[in-house]
């Protein structure tokens, strides 16, 4: 188990006045909004590009690009047009970045 930095380190990070407290609260709110945007982007990507059944796909009336995942394209390489292969590569990149976020 790694050891923490200790109470002395926590004292240096403590908000000493109202302005520092407000800054840390705004930074926490900013992280919350970014996490919300990340989740919405992931849902939109999965529903609109990959065609998974979710609220975003239903809001679009069921319309989707129906891009296959990379694993399916590797298994049957000749079945997909080149533009869908490129869209799949970039969509998988965005999906992985959003899942790490």
In a domain, 34, yes or no: yes
In a domain, 2, yes or no: no
In a domain, 1, yes or no: no
In a domain, 79, yes or no: yes
Average pLDDT on 52-71 reads 87
Above 90 in pLDDT, residue 85? no
pTM passes above 0.75: no
The tokens of 30 are what? 């900013």
- Domain residues for the domain of 52 are 7-100
Average pLDDT on 38-53 reads 90
Using an 8 Å Cβ cutoff, are 13 and 54 in contact? Answer: no
Report the candidate in 61, 31, 55 with the shortest Cα–Cα distance to residue 43: 55
**How many independent structural domains does the chain possess?**
1
């Amino acid at each position: 188990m790694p050891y923490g930095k200790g109470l002395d380190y926590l004292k240096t990070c403590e908000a000493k006045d109202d302005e520092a407290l407000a800054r840390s609260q705004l930074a926490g709110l900013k992280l919350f909004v970014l996490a919300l945007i990340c989740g919405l982007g992931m849902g939109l990507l999965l529903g609109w590009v990959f065609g998974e059944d979710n609220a975003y796909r239903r809001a679009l009336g069921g319309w989707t690009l129906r891009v296959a995942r990379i694993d399916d394209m590797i298994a049957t390489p000749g079945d997909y047009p080149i533009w869908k292969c490129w869209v799949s590569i970039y969509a998988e990149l965005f999906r992985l970045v959003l899942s790490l976020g």
